[in-house]
Amino acid sequence: MNISTIINDKKILIINYQSINVLTTEMLAELYRIDKETIRRNFLEKSSGFVEGIHYLKVEGDDLKKFKESNKELDVICDTSTRLILWTKRGATRHAQILDTHEIWDTHDIFLEKYFDKNPTVNIGPHYLLTLEGAKAALDFTRNFAAQVFTGSISFVFTIRTLETGKWSLGILSVLVWIIFLYIVVANFANFLSPILKNLQDQLASIDGYVTKKESKNMKFLQWVSTLFKNILLVLIHKPMILLELIVIFIIVEIPPTIVIFSAGYSAEKIYDFFF
């Protein structure tokens, strides 16, 4: 569901794609009060001044299909279009520089503040973790996750040691602390990764010939291995960026907690021996 803003007494839906606010060509033309063909012509004639990924985003194929499904309330998206150009904040500014009139700049300053600087709920795009915002979110998550795992691991070691030495009251308290931290760790883990993994699963399921986990449930072992390699090959051919994002997820999920658990176990032993 898109949120909206008011510009020049008109309600405008804000499009968020790959975690940034963007405009379609039709929306940009309407805001600048010019013909959309002028936007397209300037784009073609000044193509060297527009860089994909900086001034505009190109959406096509499966990504376009999903984009249309999640933005059905936008009348400007044609059902028959096979490619869509979305203008970023810098792209809108570049068009203003080309058009260069007082009216354009006045409008530009207004929607820069009211449209591009608005912060709707983060939309988990096709490769969220590979964006700058996704990387920052992953860093924050890893930092907090590591701290929680460290604290929980110390509580766990304390629990084992206190029960081994017969300190039941302290052991029961350690168990309660450990359960609380385990719940916090699992909850944060699910909140961060669940929507990202769901998005990746949707992308994988959209590949022709890809066999989902549900479909491979009753396969024999050799058939399952063959299907696994076939799936990997299909992903490499059709959506290679997914593998990169899965590697990022693996690094976030596996490496920091593993290092933290070992260091926590060592630290907990030292702390326990010091106090008890």
What phi and psi, each to the nearest 5 degrees, are found at residue 180? Answer: -65, -45
Residue 108 lies in a domain: yes
- Cβ atoms of 158 and 276 closer than 8 Å: no
Residue 257 belongs to some domain of the structure: yes
CATH number at residue 48: 3.10.260
Tokens 């304390």, residue located: 158
100 and 144 share a domain? no
Asked whether residue 192 is assigned to any structural domain, the reply reads yes
144 with 263, same domain: the answer is yes
**Residue 122 domain-assigned?**
no
In a domain, 258, yes or no: yes
Residues 261 and 200 in one domain: yes
Look at residue 159 and tell me if it is in a domain.
Answer: yes
Strand pairing report for 15-17 and 20-24: antiparallel
pLDDT tens digit sequence for 141-197: 887 777 777 777 777 776 777 777 776 676 677 777 777 777 877 887 787 788 788
Torsion of CA 262, 263, 264, 270, to 10 degrees: 120
- Cα–Cα dist 129/126, whole Å: 9
* pLDDT tens per residue across span 38-83: 888 888 887 777 888 888 888 888 888 877 777 766 665 655 567 8
Q: What is the residue range of 257's domain?
A: 128-275
Same domain, 254 and 140: yes
Environment class of residue 95 by beta-carbon count within 10 Å: exposed (0-12), middle (13-18) or buried (19+)?
Answer: buried
In a domain, residue 205? The reply is: yes
Residues 103, 181 within the same domain: no
Helices within 100-167 (DSSP H only): 102-111, 132-164
